[in-house]
Structure 1
Amino acid sequence: MKLRTKIQVYLSVFILIIMLLVNTSVYFLFYKNATESELEQLVAQTELLVERLAKTTDTNEISELMNAFLPANGMVQVFANDGQTLEFKHREDAYKTLTGKFQAEETHEILKPERGVNVAVVTRPIIWQDGSVVTLQLSNNLVELSNTLTILFYVLLFASLILLIPTFIGGNILIRFLLNPIHQLTQAMKENIKGRKWRKIDLTNRSKDELYEMEATFNDMIDQLKDNYEKQEDFVSNASHELKTPIQIVKSYAQLIERRGKDNEALIQESVEAIDSEADRMKKLVEQLLALAKSKREAEHTKVELVQLVDHSVSTFKHAYNREIECIKNMESIDVKGNADQLEQIIYILIDNALKYSEKRIIVSLFTHNGDVIFSVKDFGKGISKDEQERIFERFYRVDKARSRETGGTGLGLAIAKSITEEHQGELTIDSVMGEGSTFTLVLPILREE
């Protein structure tokens, strides 16, 4: 069943139930008030008859009084304590079916005999002419009330049927209001799936309701998908380009050896060194691509002692590169929650990046501030412009492409560091001034013991 049909059916059933409850309440409220009113009138009539009978002793007058107080569609009866009927007055033969008997208590009630016409009955004990206690009963068949209730029933039924028309029209308007955005959303999804048109929903002149939020979220999702798709295309293109260059160099040197390498040992040595260098470049690129993919997967996070990790990394670079690396810290031990191998990789990337792009000393700092541990690496190179700082963490982006080729850079190191930082709920930023150098800062939350 389609959503349109479901809404129409559910709405119609709901309105029918509401109208049924309302109409039933109206009908029975009217019935209750009308019968109580009729019964009160009959009680008042009975009281008046009793007063008149108390003042009368003549049998003929008693008969005339009963005829005078005879209800329009009812009877007046008097029953002796032995069950004998002393008086019996009625308007028509049709209303003689109500039976009565002697009773010592007064009652007011509405009866409904087999004929289906409501009967108001008032029964009251009185003192008769001979001093005995008898029962006086006045009854009135509520014929007019029954006719009125019948008319009311048909009026309510007709009104309910009439109300279904605007309900149906209003339901269609509501359905159109609810489903049109969904249809637009579905159509946009189909177009985006088939042709990658990245179509979004037009939100101009729209009220900011839940449907608006859904469509706005869809537009944000399309923007994100488009951005990710373009980044993926750039990634594949850049990765292909990065691999294509060393492969072409290896192939060129291999062809050169085949043509001229048999009698030229110097050429063979040069080719082997070039092939080995490019193979190392490809190996490093593949390793970084794998590291970038691995950083997207969840790694086990445990307590990591960061000071020891930084000291070990700084010591390794000092011995490997024989460069001046100054290490400043304001604590001897600090714990963070994370993956030790991944955090060490960030430290390696930042120090290695500073050594590549600066011939001078570099400064490594480690300190705490406001519940965070801050690790920074400062170099004194030529710096990075503001425009390039915004793209420095993109995959394969390199500030100085010529120098990056010389130093073996692939443009993936900072992207890997940024990805790992985000997995550790941290922040990696850059502050650079042209001609003065750059500072990369890593902020991580300190692990607090429960």
Structure 2
Amino acid sequence: MKLSTKIRLFSSLFMLVLVLLVNTAIYYLFYNMSLNAEKAELTDQTNEITEALNESPNIAKSDLLKAYLPTDGMVRIIGKDGEFLIPTLTKDQEFTELPFTFSKKQTAGVIELSNQADFLTISKPIIWENGEVATLQVYKQLVAHSESMETLFYVLAVASVIVLIPTIIAGTFLSRFILKPIKSLTGTMKENITDAKWKKINLENRSRDELYEMEETFNVMIEYLKDNFERQETFVSDASHELKTPISIVKSYAQLLKRRGQDNPELLNESVQAVDSEADRMQKLVEQMLLLAKNQENETYSKLDIIQLTRETVDQFKGAYDRELTFEAEAEKIMVNGNHDQLQQVFYILIDNALKYSDEAVNVYVLRRQSEVQVKVQDYGQGIPQEEAEKIFDRFYRMDKSRSRDLGGTGLGLAIAKAIMEKHKGQLTVSSESGNGSIFSITLSTID
């Protein structure tokens, strides 16, 4: 069952039940009020008959009772043995078949008939001529009452229909109002699936209700998916491109070895070195791509001394490179919350880049800035043009691709460092001028 049908059905059934309850209450309230009015009127009439019998003992009872005979009714005097003390007084002989009873107390009741209007009866004890207690029973057919109730029934039925028709119409408009944005959302989803588009929903001239929030969330999700999909495509494309070159080189040297390598030792050595170099390049590229892919995984964070970690990294580079590498810190210990291996990877990347792209000294500083710590890596190399300063953090981006390839660069190092710093809620920035070297700075919050 469609949602629109459910909305119309629910609203219609709800209104139908509500109307039936209200109309039923109105019907029975009016029924009781009308019946009580008839009962009070017949009770007064019965009391008048009793007073007349008591005040006029010398007048013939039959003649006296005829004067008080209801138009649509009947009068009976019933003895204690159940016999009629006078003939039944009525204008319609069919009424004589109605039941009767002897009673020593005043009672009222309704005799329900299936083929005609009901009868209201009032029974009241009186003292008869012989001094015995008899029952005066007055009957009245509720013709006016029945006609009024029948009229009320039809009026309420028509009113119910009149109320239900607008309810159904309103339910239809309500379902259309609610389902229109849902249908638009569904259609956009299907279009995005079948046509591979990144279509968003138009939110102009829309009331800011829950449906608006749903559509706005959908647009944000589409933008997020589009961005991630494009990043994935770019990543795969760039990775394929980067792997294509070393693979081509390895394949070329393999074919060269196959043709002439056995008879040329120099060519053999050159080919082996080239294959080994390109294999190292591919291994490094794959490792860095895996590191980027694992960037979203949960890592263990702990309290660590950023100065000690930076000094250890600098010492490792001093032992491996015959280069001037200095380290300065403004304090003996500065504690941060982070992952030891990931932060060390950032320092490796920054120092390694500084050594690659600079032939002069590389300086590493650790500075305390109130509730933050800054680690700066300064080199005196070629520098970075201002227009390319933001691009260097993109995956696979290299300013001088030929020189970067000669130096073994993949264009992933700074992207990895940026991702790690974002995960640590820190910052990685660069300050540089073309020809005047560069300063890469990371900023982290300190802890006590």
Q: Does 1:326 align with 2:336?
A: no
Pair 275,104 (structure 1): closer, same or farther in 2 beyond 3 Å: same
Query: What letter is aligned with 1:76?
Result: V
Q: 2-side partners of 1:314 and 1:139: how far apart? A: 118
What's the secondary structure of 1:135's corresponding residue? strand
Match of 1:199 in 2: 199
Match of 1:276 in 2: 276
Paired residues, what number? 441
Q: CA deviation at 1:155?
A: 3.6
Pair 311,25 (structure 1): closer, same or farther in 2 beyond 3 Å: farther
Match of 1:69 in 2: 68
Q: CA deviation at 1:284?
A: 0.5
What's the secondary structure of 1:138's corresponding residue? strand
Root-mean-square deviation (CA, aligned residues, Å) is 3.7
Match of 2:85 in 1: 86
What's the secondary structure of 1:71's corresponding residue? coil
What's the secondary structure of 1:379's corresponding residue? strand
Pair 119,386 (structure 1): closer, same or farther in 2 beyond 3 Å: farther
Q: 1-side partners of 2:422 and 2:271: how far apart? A: 42
Superposed counterparts of 1:89-238, under 5 Å: 89-113=89-113, 115=115, 117-128=117-128, 131-238=131-238
Contact 1:80 1:102 (C-alpha < 8 Å) held by counterparts: yes
Query: What letter is aligned with 2:153?
Result: F
Q: CA deviation at 1:142?
A: 1.0
Match of 2:293 in 1: 293
Deviations 1:323-350 (A, max 9, x none): 43435375748474x6544444344334
Q: 2-side partners of 1:173 and 1:48: how far apart? A: 63
Q: 2-side partners of 1:351 and 1:45: how far apart? A: 117
Q: 1-side partners of 2:332 and 2:75: how far apart? A: 111
Deviations 1:120-168 (A, max 9, x none): 3333334445554443333322122223323333343344445554444
What's the secondary structure of 2:85's corresponding residue? strand
Q: CA deviation at 1:227?
A: 1.7
Match of 1:362 in 2: 363
Q: 1-side partners of 2:331 and 2:120: how far apart? A: 101
Gapped runs of 5+ residues in structure 1? none
Q: Bigger CA drift: 192-201 or 271-280?
A: 271-280
Match of 1:49 in 2: 49
Contact 1:385 1:432 (C-alpha < 8 Å) held by counterparts: no
Q: 2-side partners of 1:142 and 1:329: how far apart? A: 108
Superposed counterparts of 1:20-39, under 5 Å: 20-39=20-39
Query: What letter is aligned with 1:440?
Result: S
Pair 65,407 (structure 1): closer, same or farther in 2 beyond 3 Å: farther
Q: CA deviation at 1:444?
A: 6.2
Q: 2-side partners of 1:389 and 1:70: how far apart? A: 114
Query: What letter is aligned with 2:68?
Result: F
What's the secondary structure of 2:76's corresponding residue? strand
Q: 2-side partners of 1:354 and 1:368: how far apart? A: 24
Q: 2-side partners of 1:418 and 1:33: how far apart? A: 85
Pair 194,114 (structure 1): closer, same or farther in 2 beyond 3 Å: closer
Contact 2:327 2:364 (C-alpha < 8 Å) held by counterparts: yes
Q: 2-side partners of 1:145 and 1:387: how far apart? A: 96
Q: Bigger CA drift: 324-333 or 216-225?
A: 324-333
Q: 1-side partners of 2:384 and 2:37: how far apart? A: 96
Query: What letter is aligned with 2:140?
Result: N
Query: What letter is aligned with 1:72?
Result: T
Identity %: 47
TM-score by length of 2: 0.81
Match of 2:246 in 1: 246
Gapped runs of 5+ residues in structure 2? none
Contact 1:383 1:432 (C-alpha < 8 Å) held by counterparts: no
What's the secondary structure of 1:85's corresponding residue? coil
Q: CA deviation at 1:38?
A: 1.7
What's the secondary structure of 1:411's corresponding residue? coil
Pair 31,334 (structure 1): closer, same or farther in 2 beyond 3 Å: same
Q: 1-side partners of 2:191 and 2:408: how far apart? A: 43
Deviations 1:150-190 (A, max 9, x none): 33333433444455544443333333333333333233222
Match of 2:394 in 1: 394
Q: 2-side partners of 1:311 and 1:97: how far apart? A: 120
Q: 1-side partners of 2:334 and 2:367: how far apart? A: 10
Query: What letter is aligned with 2:242?
Result: E
Deviations 1:385-410 (A, max 9, x none): 67655444432234554554344332
Contact 2:305 2:333 (C-alpha < 8 Å) held by counterparts: no
Q: CA deviation at 1:287?
A: 0.6
Pair 255,170 (structure 1): closer, same or farther in 2 beyond 3 Å: same
Deviations 1:35-76 (A, max 9, x none): 12222222333343344444332242x544433333332223
Query: What letter is aligned with 1:67?
Result: K
Match of 2:349 in 1: 349
Q: 2-side partners of 1:165 and 1:229: how far apart? A: 51
Q: Bigger CA drift: 313-322 or 213-222?
A: 313-322
What's the secondary structure of 1:396's corresponding residue? coil
Q: Bigger CA drift: 31-40 or 84-93?
A: 84-93
Q: 1-side partners of 2:245 and 2:165: how far apart? A: 75
Pair 243,48 (structure 1): closer, same or farther in 2 beyond 3 Å: same
